[in-house]
Structure formats: structure tokens, C-alpha cells
Structure 1
Amino acid sequence: MANDKEAQVSQIVEEEEEPRRTKKKSGASGSTRDPSVPSLVSLEPRLAKMELAIGETSDDIGHLSNFVEGLETRVQTACQDTQDLREETLGLINSALATAHEEIAKMREELLRQLTDICTEVESVKEDVILCKKAAVTGGFAIQAGPKVEVPQPEKYHGKRLQQWAKQEVKRRGVKSLAEAIAVAESLIEIPRESRRNKGKRVEEGDQDDEEASHPKAKHADHGKDKAKSKWESKGDDRDGGKP
């Protein structure tokens, strides 16, 4: 727009200069200038055109100034919005980074814990493998017993309640004399011989059954040996009987 105004002003100046050039050319050809025509009359149209062009240019400059001011306001608003958006974006990025760092720290701790457990388990497996190799080479290995645990022993029985029970038993049987009391006391203390004999016999039979159950192969082997021996002796007797 400013270029258009400059072109108009230059065109007006050229139009004003054109009669002057024509007059100079005509004066050079021998014609004489009329001194009665004032020079101001020729300047009035030119001044009017210049004033009009300057007025239009001023209006354009005013519009351009207003546009520039509005543009500056819009630029400032855009800068403020950009700054707010930048701060908001930085806040979101920082929050996301903090969360990511926390998650990474947790994962690292969990991974380290799992690695520690794996290393411990591997060491235990190595020890078991070493023990198995030793057992395979030596044919067996002794298991080390742990420390003995001390179990509290019960207090020694002094027979405090037994006396009370004996008194009640004597009273229940209706003892009236000292001899009867002695007989009852002996019957309570001593076990009859028959019961002791039967009990000992049952214990011996139980021990014998346990021994036979624990050595069945030996029993069968002895039985086989006896059978083979008797068979061999019978064959020897037959051979001896057949001799002359």
C-alpha cells in the first residue's frame, strides 16, 4: 500500500514537471514566455493533489499503526499462551519422570532381591551336589547330628499320694486287725508269682517273634541248609548201603 502511494506522488510530480519541460522546449525554439501568467496558478492544482495524496497516506499510516498495535497485542497473548503451555508441559514431564524413576527403583530392588534368592539357592544346590558326589565316590556318607537338645527330666517320685491311696484301700477292705492290714499291704505291694511268670513268658515270646520278623532271610537260609544236609546224608546212606 505504501508503494502505491509513492507511485501516485511520483506520478503527480511527473505531471507537474511535464508542462515545465514543454515550456522549456518551446522557449528554446524561439518562443517567449508570457510574463502575465502568474506561477502560483499553475501550482494550486499540484498542491491540491499533493494534499490529497498526503491525506490518504496519513489515513493509511493510521490504519497501519492500528494494525501493528493489534498485532503486537496478539503476539503478546501468543507468547503468554506459549509460556503457560511450556510450563504445563514441563510439569507433566517432570511428574512422569519422577514416577518412572520410582518404578525403576522398585523394579531394581525387586530384581536384586530375586538375584540374591537365586544365588542362595544355587549355593545350596552346589552343596547338595558336592554331598551327592562324595556319597557316590565313598559309597555313603555320615550325617552329622545336630546339637543335642536338653529335655527337662521329671522330678523324682516320692510316693506322697500313694500313702493316701493305701489308707483308702485298707479302709475299703474293712481291715480291723494289724495282721489283716499287713496282709493287705503285702497283697498291694507284691505281684503274685503266677502273674509274673506268665508276664515273663509273654515277653520272651514277643522278643522271639520280633527276632524272627527282623531276620526272615536267615531263617529261610537255615531251613534250606538243614534240608540240603538231610538230603545229602540220605544219598550217602544209599551209597553206603549199595556197597558189597
Structure 2
Amino acid sequence: MRAQPEQQAPPVQRIRLRYAKRGRLRFTSHRDFSRAFERAVVRAGVPMAYSSGFHPHPRISYAGAAPTGSASEAEYVELGLARPVDPEEVRAALDAALPDGLDVLAAAESPGGSLADLLEVSRWQLAVTGAELGTVQDAAAAFLATDEVTVERMTKKGMRSFDCRAAVIELSVEDPGPGIPGAIVDVLLRHGTPAVRPDDVLRGLREVGDLPEDVQALQRRIAQGTYDETTGAVVDPLGSTDAP
């Protein structure tokens, strides 16, 4: 009879971290990041709790990862620890162990509950190129005036059509600055199923506006968390607030 695996003790503390993906590291996939992060945990000497079973894994929970190619200032991960540690010590040690561009920005002890349940919305900034500012502004006005904007995207289950307009809570267009072509699109997206991504919104703007087919945008997530309906702010799981 095969020996039963050793049962691991449950975590005695959970710490939530907010980290950023910047520069060239925006092109790391979620799998790439998880591998780098697990190696950093070992190098930093974080006292991780482990799962039970024949192949124990460190208790790391990822939530709301940005699409590959997107920069972000608001990615989240939760660690289950075998002994209590000062969250700031964990943050500093992991930030030093990770490469530049994967930066651990904040840490806090988890009060309990699901981290994923606290990620209801995301605020994105799209640096649009290949279209004039006025053209993007006109497309945004047409988009906001439309009740439904259907777009298509290739998924693991094949081509899928869905309404990208329903997920958009706010959308505005700004001038990127003197001498800089294009436009800056700020969009607040509600998370749902299927998940509407920033490139879906850009595709939707193309559907309703006069944007060129080759219009492109660099995507950066500014904030992620719960949505305060009264103030329009995004409140992240660590307690800070991103005012619109």
C-alpha cells in the first residue's frame, strides 16, 4: 500500500501583496510570473505554508492577473505563511528578490475572506496611436451613446461574440500632451463573465467610430478593487483609494 502523504499544517497568517508589472516585464505571462515569484519566495526566505498531498506547493493565491502585454500598477497575490511575519518585511524581501519591473508595492495582513471577491473593477489607461485625438473623442462619444457594442474575440473555445459596452462604467479621452500624437483613453471596467479586456474596448471604439483598422494602444492598469458607487473611486484590497 502506498504511504499516505504527510498532512501540512494550515497557514497561521495570510498576507496580501500589491505588485506592478512595468517596462519589458509587461510581456511576461501569468505562468512566467508565477514561476519567478515562487523562486523569489525561496530566495527571500519567506516562511511559506504548504499544501498537503504527494506534491506539496506553497500556498500562493493569484487573483485578477492582467493580460500578457499589459503593464499594471495593481496586481494582487495572497500568501499563506507558516508563522507570523511583519508584512512590510515580506514586501521588502520579495521586492529585492524579484527583477526590476516586477515591483512589490504594498503589503497587508489579510482580514479573511476571498481576495478575488474584492476585485470587482479595474481602471485602465490606453495610450492610443494611429488615430487623431478628435477621432478618438468622437468614437468615445458614439460608444457611450450606444446601449450595446458587440465585438468578437478568439478564446480557448473558439471565436466568441459578446457585448463590451455593458462592462464600461466610465470612459473618457484626454490629450496626451503637446507634440504627442494620439490620445489617452481612461476606462473603468466592471469584471464579469466573459471578462471584458481593454483591447475589447478599443475594438468596440473601432466598431462604432471612424478609427483606422491599424489603431493600437499600450495598456496599463492603474487600479483594481471594489467600486464605491457614491464617489466613483476604486478601493483596493489593501485599503487605499484611487479617486477618479
- Using structure 1 for the length normalisation, give the TM-score: 0.12
Q: Which one has more relative contact order, counting CA pairs under 8 Å at least 6 apart?
A: 2
Higher strand share: 2
Larger radius of gyration: 1
- Using structure 2 for the length normalisation, give the TM-score: 0.12
Higher helix share: 1
